Structure 1
């Protein structure tokens, strides 16, 4: 299997620094986006810990593909524990945390693990589908029928997440597995993109433009609409199955 990947991480228009981190490791077929939060340098530090810990876990593992879900889940949980430990060691980092969305590809399968509201989408045969579920207060209200999806877009609490790495040593990780098809494109992103560019617009860009240009156009669109958060996305296209 061969993939073509690209990434963009942009500070946006309102933030002083970029607290998002990302990884593209073609050798490991591992792709990650993490959206950090916390005062001082905490958010940036937390997202970087998540990225490096998960990558190291895969580098050091001799696990067979049948255990991919367990490996990814363990790696993400280890990242959360490291963030908690660092915050306990350095009180200036207290309160830091991060979301994470990680994608690992094997010959026939994609496994994704995530915590928080960074998202994964799958573009297949011209249709884009969100394949992760936000761990957010607003999403819980949508699921409960308290508000509509349209109301959720501009809700005052849309940035409150119910799950993240760094809050407690133990965290629940959601896992998703997909069989791969030639032409599949995965989109991983922080909420700096998904809050400002809706799924129909993303789908249109992926249909009409090649991968790198589609990524750039989406980031530009988010910035034109205010760019009120850091914006990070990764596109991974299966070009040979």
Structure 2
């Protein structure tokens, strides 16, 4: 995908991979060139039919966009409400006791900024020449514990807390959505990803890779290859978005 808006030339590429340790791929992703919208969803492995949950999330996003003209702003509250209700209803038909669930991070680029809706621990990071910033905040037990610490305090956080969600799509009939707005500078590059990426790579390493790789497709393929070389413990999904000057 390659488009131009104002002073930006945007190049984007997304891909997903099952990894080496999972019996199926429960991640999904979505890229819309006309709406300059990108989404990553990661179905919950601890619940039934994670692939159904994430796939339904991206399917509903596509349906939602069909009602908008290219360039129209997305209403994340309305979009996520529609997605959540469909996943919730489908989950109750699959398992009345457990339901199904998925994370979901959606970013739309308009004018000079990202507008973002987010639930779970899929994420969005923006990389500049000298630094990077994570725009989204994980909805995990680990992050909640970190948020409660006072300056200078430390606490033992079990590793599995980093992957234990406190919020997801589809478990309740209504959902609270975090929304963000992030100004993009020409030359920056962004990555949307499932947690299969961060299980095998640190952001500083990805920062080096994204600066050294001129093609978003090559970057995403390298991230997937690296994750699988390091054991492929989880499904891996990434969308790279390059904002060229």
TM-score normalized with structure 1 length? 0.88
Q: 1: distance between equivalents of 2:97 and 2:114? A: 34
Query: Which consecutive residues of structure 1, in runs of 5 or more, have no partner in the other structure?
Result: none
Q: CA deviation at 1:193?
A: 0.4
Query: Separation in 2 of the partners of 1:183 and 1:208?
Result: 13
Alignment map for 1:1-241 (pairs within 5 Å): 1=5, 2-38=9-45, 42-61=49-68, 68=74, 71-91=75-95, 94-145=98-149, 155-210=159-214, 211-239=216-244
Q: Following TM superposition, by how much is the alpha carbon of 1:128 offset from its aligned partner in structure 2, in angstroms?
A: 1.9
CA 1:62 to 1:138, structure 2 compared with 1: closer, same or farther past 3 Å? same
Structure 2 unpaired stretches of 5+: none
Q: What is the count of residue pairs matched by the alignment? A: 235
Following TM superposition, by how much is the alpha carbon of 1:89 offset from its aligned partner in structure 2, in angstroms? 2.8
For residue 156 of structure 1, give the secondary structure of its aligned residue in structure 2. Answer: helix
Aligned partners of 2:154, 2:63: CA distance in 1, in Å? 41
CA distance in 1, matches of 2:170, 2:25: 18
Q: Quote the Cα distance in structure 1 between the aligned partners of 2:46 and 2:119.
A: 20
Structure with the higher fraction of residues in helix conformation: 1
Q: Distance in 1 between matches of 2:128 and 2:17?
A: 26
Counterpart CA distance in 2 for 1:3 and 1:94 is 41
Q: Equivalents in 2 of 1:184, 1:55: separation in Å?
A: 27
User: CA shift at 1:74, angstroms?
Assistant: 1.5
Give me the whole-angstrom Cα distance separating, in 2, the residues matched to 1:100 and 1:28: 18
In 2, distance between residues paired with 1:144 and 1:176? 21
- 1:171-190 Cα offsets, whole Å, 9 max, x none, are 11111102232122110000
CA distance in 1, matches of 2:191, 2:233: 20
* CA shift for structure 1 position 44: 0.6
Q: 1:182 to 1:131 in 2, by over 3 A?
A: same
Q: Return the offset for 1:76.
A: 1.3
Question: Equivalents in 2 of 1:139, 1:112: separation in Å?
Answer: 19
